[in-house]
Structure 1
Amino acid sequence: MIEAKTRAWWRATAALCLGSFLVFINLYVPQPLLPALKTTFEVSTLGVSLLMSAATLSLAFALLIFGPLSDAIGRETIMRVTLVAAGALSLLLAVAPNFETLLLLRLVQGFVLGGLPAVAIAWMGDEFDKPALLSAVGLYIGANSLGGISGRVVGGFAATLGGEAAAFLTVGTMTLLGCLLFWRLLPNSKAFVPKPFELRQALRDLAGHLRTPVLLAAYVLGGLNFLIFINQYSYITFRLAAPPYQLAAGALGLIFLTYLGGTFGSTVSGRLAQRFSPARCMGAGILILMLGTGVTLLSPLWLVMLGLLINAFGFFLCHSLASGWVGRYAQGARGSASALYLVFYYLGASVGGFWLEPFWRWAQWSGVAVGSWLLLGVTFFIALGLYRFERRENQR
């Protein structure tokens, strides 16, 4: 087993963090481009938002496929091949002749982008001892958010300088060059033992998780919260691209720096949960997300940015604790329980446009805020239910 802070640990962790960065830079590069792509291809706001929804939907499906598949054929091959495919697809996105082709390529890209997230932590579990695993996972998750921020910022500035195609071309080239380093850094597995793929057992495990109320509640809470959080960012780009703001794609990319509030939220979540309890902090995170949404209704751009910063803190505070809740209360098959949380998480992202679009058509950004508050009210009551369960557990 690889021990923490050794040369082998640093090398493997650097490889997986790089891979994570490359996955999320590809996943989120179109988001600041949505207003420009809407104009270029003459589609509706809902239609162009499908570029994000299609990718997250197929990514959610891929998590269910690649995880069990990696148990049978190994994990390095899946990570290496899918990363190269993701970079190649970004290059194809740069030359897509029409919106239908662009959407189809994003659907396929989302699927291959699911390869590394589905198996990376399992690879760490095979190869690292427990202290090494805990240290590496924290860095890996940090690379997720850094990749998401970078994809939007790089994509926005590349589009400002050379058009939307330049954004996909830049990210695709970065990914393929990064793959060379990823392949070189990632060591071959030494502890992996292949297991035959047992579909029946996998389905029984998934069904068991869905029949467990405290797990299902966490799945729904995480999925609905992400539905609101990620799609708010899509619709805010349309608001800020229009008068009186009229921000270009490069400036729109910078609004995603507010994700850094989420980095702080996830960092302090553990300490807050130890002091106040996980479920109580989940509820607080949702209330903070509702507050931030209210702040974004104000007109000054700096207050809109402040509202998004507050949103990111509240969302990631809740998300970190909800995902940890699943690991804590899953009765066996914890890997599939955590994978199922991510499936709900990305399914929420993929259907959010269908929920918020009618509110956008009704009252633009004010309507989006109303639609957000309605679902966040639901997730807040779910958090209250988890808090009641938590109190009963603590009294035993």
Structure 2
Amino acid sequence: MSDISPIETPAASPAKEYLQRGTASYRRASLALFLSGFSTFSLLYCVQPLLPIFADEFSVSPAESSLSLSLSTGFLAIAIICAAAISEGLGRRSLMSISLVGAAVLTIAAAFAPDWHLLLVIRALQGFVLGGVPAVAMAYLAEEIDPRGLGATMGLYVGGTAFGGMSGRVLTGIFAEYLTWRPAMFLIGAIGLAAAAGFIALLPASRNFIRRPGFDPKFHLKAWLAHMRNPALPFIFAIAFLAMGSFVTIYNYAGFRLVAAPYELTQTELGLIFTVYLFGIGASSVGGILGDRFGHFAVLLTGIAITAVGSALTLCAFLPVIIFGVVVLTSGFFMSHSIASGLVGKLARDTKGHASSLYMLGYYVGSSVVGSAGGWFFAIEGWTAVVFFTLALLALAFAAACAARSLSRRKF
């Protein structure tokens, strides 16, 4: 199969021509989507290891410092809904390219923010701009990749998000210790620009995308409502909210626990803990492959259970066990997310971009709302309250997965 033109052209025929594994176009698409996931999550989560620094420098509480992340994810959630509609006319590839470049530029701008409130404004804008990537990327994969290998390809994309989340956290922590946080954010923004350039150069044009010129609110509303009437999909959206919320809560406030006595980790040491994201990269790919082979719901339930075990392990006061708990939590979460992402594309009958946008809406609202709410538990009862809060969320996620499996008319 030959490569395709870099100019995006809507499909004129109902016959679908999927990207097949082993072709040059498939490899380009895989690498481009990996870069998009890397860039999105490194830019989004680069502030997470900086939360204790923000609390100290700007004299704000841990919950208030988490707003530098929660506002980004909250506005990203809002933007995802708009992005799904805009991409129907503008095109998947074009919208993702604009979003990646814009978010990188705003990260560089955040490095020069003179006060706390302007920093929050820039981070909110950055989240809104980034909304053009996650839901649209999932829609691109669902439309362009051979369904028989979608689980593995989605796992690779999610692996890119894991690598980006790790890199943004680790590099920012190291840069911040030796250069302070402002040069750290500048460098992360520059890396994001380079990744955006690679994405634009590599991503093949859509073959199966059908452009819908103009903006028809009734069409988009009808599409979203149709997905909400799907018996199983609303439970998958709920899993995104609950699982992501619990995951971000652990990562947001683990830093406050570990830089304080008796651990007193440095910023570099704290950043290096985020290398456990490597386990997330492997787990997302393995989860997708296992889902294709043994059933997606079975692997989804397993991933949620593993996430809960990891969360519980962090209750231990022994630092190596805490780190091991974060490894287990990260592996279980990315396995779950990889499977749930793929299920959205499989369960949605039409307008997969709209279905993906609802999934990502739940995902980022969970990150924003639950991630900030966890700060209240941390302030009142400390780490134990944070862990029990996340375990309650994961129990609900497990129940939602059971409900989705029983309501699905097809076996996945």
Q: TM-score, normalised by structure 1?
A: 0.89
Equivalent residue, structure 2, for 1:340:
358
* Alpha-carbon distance, 1:171 to partner: 0.8
Equivalent residue, structure 2, for 1:159:
176
* Alpha-carbon distance, 1:40 to partner: 0.6
Conservation of the 8 A alpha-carbon contact between 1:155 and 1:253? yes
Equivalent residue, structure 1, for 2:388:
370
Structure 1: which 5+ residue stretches go unaligned? none
Conservation of the 8 A alpha-carbon contact between 1:280 and 1:384? no
Equivalent residue, structure 2, for 1:240:
258
* Alpha-carbon distance, 1:128 to partner: 6.2
CA distance in 2, matches of 1:376, 1:134: 23
Conservation of the 8 A alpha-carbon contact between 2:36 and 2:100? yes
Q: Go from structure 1 to structure 2 and tell me whether the alpha carbon gap of 1:261 and 1:95 turns closer, same or farther (over 3 Å shift).
A: same
Which deviations, in whole Å up to 9, do the C-alpha atoms of 1:18-48 show, x marking residues without a partner?
Answer: 2332222101110111111110111011111
CA distance in 1, matches of 2:180, 2:102: 23
Which deviations, in whole Å up to 9, do the C-alpha atoms of 1:95-127 show, x marking residues without a partner?
Answer: 111111111100000111122323334445666
The yes-or-no answer on 1:230 pairing with 2:251 is: no
* Alpha-carbon distance, 1:227 to partner: 0.3
Which deviations, in whole Å up to 9, do the C-alpha atoms of 1:229-253 show, x marking residues without a partner?
Answer: 1121011011001111111222111
* Alpha-carbon distance, 1:157 to partner: 0.6
Matched AA of 2:157 = Y
Match of 2:221 among 188, 203, 206: 203
Match of 1:107 among 113, 119, 124: 124
Match of 1:57 among 68, 74, 93: 74
Moved more, 78-87 or 3-12: 3-12
Q: Go from structure 1 to structure 2 and tell me whether the alpha carbon gap of 1:190 and 1:260 turns closer, same or farther (over 3 Å shift).
A: closer
The residue correspondences of 1:122-141 to structure 2 (distance < 5 A) are: 122-123=139-140, 137-141=154-158
Match of 2:53 among 23, 30, 36: 36
CA distance in 2, matches of 1:356, 1:81: 33
Equivalent residue, structure 1, for 2:313:
295
Equivalent residue, structure 1, for 2:9:
none
Equivalent residue, structure 1, for 2:32:
15
Equivalent residue, structure 2, for 1:48:
65
Equivalent residue, structure 2, for 1:219:
237
Conservation of the 8 A alpha-carbon contact between 1:36 and 1:249? no
Which deviations, in whole Å up to 9, do the C-alpha atoms of 1:56-102 show, x marking residues without a partner?
Answer: 11111222112221221233432332222112111111111111111
Which deviations, in whole Å up to 9, do the C-alpha atoms of 1:307-357 show, x marking residues without a partner?
Answer: 011111222232233333333333433332222111101110010134322
Q: Go from structure 1 to structure 2 and tell me whether the alpha carbon gap of 1:219 and 1:19 turns closer, same or farther (over 3 Å shift).
A: closer
CA distance in 2, matches of 1:176, 1:100: 25
Moved more, 357-366 or 103-112: 357-366
Alignment: residue pair count: 393
Equivalent residue, structure 2, for 1:356:
374
Q: Go from structure 1 to structure 2 and tell me whether the alpha carbon gap of 1:129 and 1:326 turns closer, same or farther (over 3 Å shift).
A: closer
Matched AA of 2:160 = A
Q: Go from structure 1 to structure 2 and tell me whether the alpha carbon gap of 1:12 and 1:389 turns closer, same or farther (over 3 Å shift).
A: closer
Equivalent residue, structure 1, for 2:105:
88
Q: Go from structure 1 to structure 2 and tell me whether the alpha carbon gap of 1:288 and 1:128 turns closer, same or farther (over 3 Å shift).
A: closer
Moved more, 63-72 or 161-170: 63-72
Query: Identity of counterpart residues, as a percentage?
Result: 37
Moved more, 356-365 or 113-122: 113-122
CA distance in 1, matches of 2:317, 2:289: 35
Q: TM-score, normalised by structure 2?
A: 0.86
CA distance in 2, matches of 1:259, 1:37: 23
Q: Go from structure 1 to structure 2 and tell me whether the alpha carbon gap of 1:388 and 1:356 turns closer, same or farther (over 3 Å shift).
A: same
Matched AA of 1:212 = N
Which deviations, in whole Å up to 9, do the C-alpha atoms of 1:273-297 show, x marking residues without a partner?
Answer: 5676543443333332222122111
Which deviations, in whole Å up to 9, do the C-alpha atoms of 1:155-208 show, x marking residues without a partner?
Answer: 111101111102111111222334444444445667765312322121112122
Conservation of the 8 A alpha-carbon contact between 1:11 and 1:185? yes
CA distance in 2, matches of 1:338, 1:118: 5
Q: Go from structure 1 to structure 2 and tell me whether the alpha carbon gap of 1:368 and 1:10 turns closer, same or farther (over 3 Å shift).
A: same
Conservation of the 8 A alpha-carbon contact between 1:5 and 1:132? no
Equivalent residue, structure 1, for 2:346:
328
CA distance in 2, matches of 1:123, 1:310: 30
* Alpha-carbon distance, 1:142 to partner: 2.2
CA distance in 1, matches of 2:84, 2:371: 28
CA distance in 1, matches of 2:212, 2:367: 32
CA-based RMSD of the aligned residues comes to 2.7
